[in-house]
Amino acid sequence: MRSKLIVGSVIGIVTIMVVIFAINFYNLLNSPKLIDFNPQVSNRALPIPNLLAPFKTDGNTSEYEIIVQAGTTNFIGDMQTPTMGYNGSFLGPVIKVNRGEEIRMHVNNELQVETSVHWHGLEVEGASDGGPHQVLSAGLLWEPVFTINQPASTLWFHPHVIGTTATQVYYGLAGLIIVEDENSKSLNLPNDYGVNDIPLIIQDRSFNKDGSFKYNDNMMDGVVGDYILVNGAITPYLDVKQTKMRFRILNGANASNFTLRLNDEDHFHQIASDGGLLERALLSRSLFISPGERAEIIVDFSKYKKGDVVKLTSDNDLVMTFRVGSEIIDNTVIPDVLATIEKLDVNQVTAVKTIELDGMGHMVSLNGLQFDMHRIDDNVSLGAVEIWDITSLRSMMMSSPGHPFHIHGTQFQVLSRNGNEPRENEKGWKDTVFVRSGETVRIIVQFKYKGIFMYHCHILEHEEAGMMGQLKVE
């Protein structure tokens, strides 16, 4: 009997693999020819997203309008690509807020389909989180109100609607939130937005011959594009002075990981992770960043001379180019101490839980189940501190190196990887952590706000296929 079961399982697995191969081969044969474009040529300046000004403010309360809209955007030649954006045709503005400030958002959905706006990394009540329970139908208005109560950080916002999250992000719906606090303002870091403080939203996209996006779900490990975009431009350039430059990096891709390096292998300093400043700047030659994660780095261009060209790469692919200009007076510093991070107390832990991420493509699960909007997977007491052991199960059919795991409405701290100390740049606040295949990452997390919150793989195609659960805090 046992041998029959084994044979049956093997036949089943082989059948699934054959079906997947056949579907992918069919898609390849029937896909329009991709555009012949050389991404190694940086012939477009890096677009800098606008800072969104509040339309009303009275000192401690600011109100913002966000319009979710469709449009067209030029990426290649003179072709126009159908896209989506916030207050524009692709991506969105940067919203800069202060700790302690009350924020009132007025979100207008001018799309012909429903959407939502999830404040990724923001600690808020479940009703303001913008997840799949706060869906905004076409033509309607959503007006969440929340108070910023977390350290200075780089967060972001994007759709989170069951069934269309991946495509809406792919078509352009993403924007950044910058939180400032008294500590960050006192450090004399580069902080002149658009001058020496620059956002880099890194994504990848493929294009059909007519210039439209080619969204091809390969049913394996999410959608991976042929060309790297930064702030909506393919491998752009940025003119910089001989000064320290701060870059707020978001991996806004659907599924791709990036390992960022300067082409001359020079060092840079990482000063922040998802949830804010690290305690000390870390000198590094590379930065691994998975979908949903953010990092802030400082590159010191004073060591270069005028006319030098420095390239930012990822696994030998060009991401963007820096063109070094003249010397200037630079009064900014990288201080010895950036922040004091209060560690969550393991003695206060009330539960230790296991999260298992399994599968690939449309055959995924979290703790053996696929997501169900009508099922609460976990109940948590308000204020509880818990330890979660998150494991990415090995799969013979999984080609990606692992899963980025995200929890809504809170920030957490990484305790260990397979029982070992986490990397130095993971010892700050996080809301997304990459779990390699066969690895267990232990985190400690506190739930400070009431409501229903999602937790899931941030490969968007995995999330939509069901690698997601929901918890209720009350």
pLDDT score of 400: 63
How do 309-314 and 317-327 pair as beta strands? antiparallel
Separation of alpha carbons 418 and 57, rounded Å: 48
Q: Could you tell me which of 66, 89, 82 has the C-alpha nearest to residue 144?
A: 66
Q: Are 206 and 225 within 8 A, CB to CB?
A: yes
Q: Give dist(CA 451, CA 456) in Å, integer.
A: 16
pLDDT for the residue numbered 59 = 81
Residue whose structure tokens are 């999602």: 454
- Specify whether the CB–CB gap between 200 and 251 falls below 8 A: no
Q: Phi/psi at 52 (nearest 5 deg)?
A: -85, 115
CATH topology of domain 346-473: Immunoglobulin-like (2.60.40)
| pLDDT per residue rounded down to tens, the chain (474 residues) | 444 434 344 344 434 343 343 434 334 434 444 455 666 556 899 999 999 999 999 989 999 999 999 999 999 989 999 999 999 999 999 999 999 999 999 999 999 999 999 999 999 999 999 999 999 999 999 999 999 999 999 999 999 999 999 999 999 999 999 999 999 999 999 999 999 999 999 999 999 999 999 998 665 689 999 999 999 999 999 999 999 999 999 999 999 999 999 999 999 999 999 999 999 999 999 999 999 999 999 999 999 999 999 999 999 899 999 999 999 999 999 999 999 999 999 999 999 999 999 987 778 999 999 999 999 999 999 999 999 999 999 765 555 689 999 999 999 999 999 999 999 999 999 999 999 999 999 999 999 999 999 999 999 999 999 999 999 999
Q: Buried b vs exposed e over 364-387: b needs ≥16 C-beta within 10 Å?
A: bbbeeebbeeeeebbebeeebbbb
In this structure, are residues 467 and 454 in contact, taking their beta carbons and an 8 Å threshold?
A: no
Task: Return the structure tokens found at 397.
Answer: 């059919």
Q: Which are the contacts of 188, defined by CB distance < 8 A and separation ≥ 6?
A: 331, 332, 333, 335
Using CA of residue 391, residue 395, residue 401, residue 404, what is the dihedral sign? Answer: negative
Task: Tell me the CA distances in angstroms from 423 to 130, 273, 427, one per residue in order.
Answer: 31, 12, 7
Residue with tokens 């891709």: 253
Q: What is the rounded CA–CA span in Å between residue 85 and residue 169?
A: 9
Q: What long-range pairs does 81-87 form, CB within 8 A, spacing at least 24? A: 81/207, 81/211, 81/212, 81/213, 82/171, 82/212, 82/213, 83/171, 83/172, 83/213, 84/111, 84/168, 84/171, 84/172, 84/173, 85/172, 85/173, 86/157, 86/173, 86/175, 87/50, 87/52
DSSP characters over 182-200: HHHHHS--S--BTTTEEEE
What was the pLDDT predicted at 381? 97
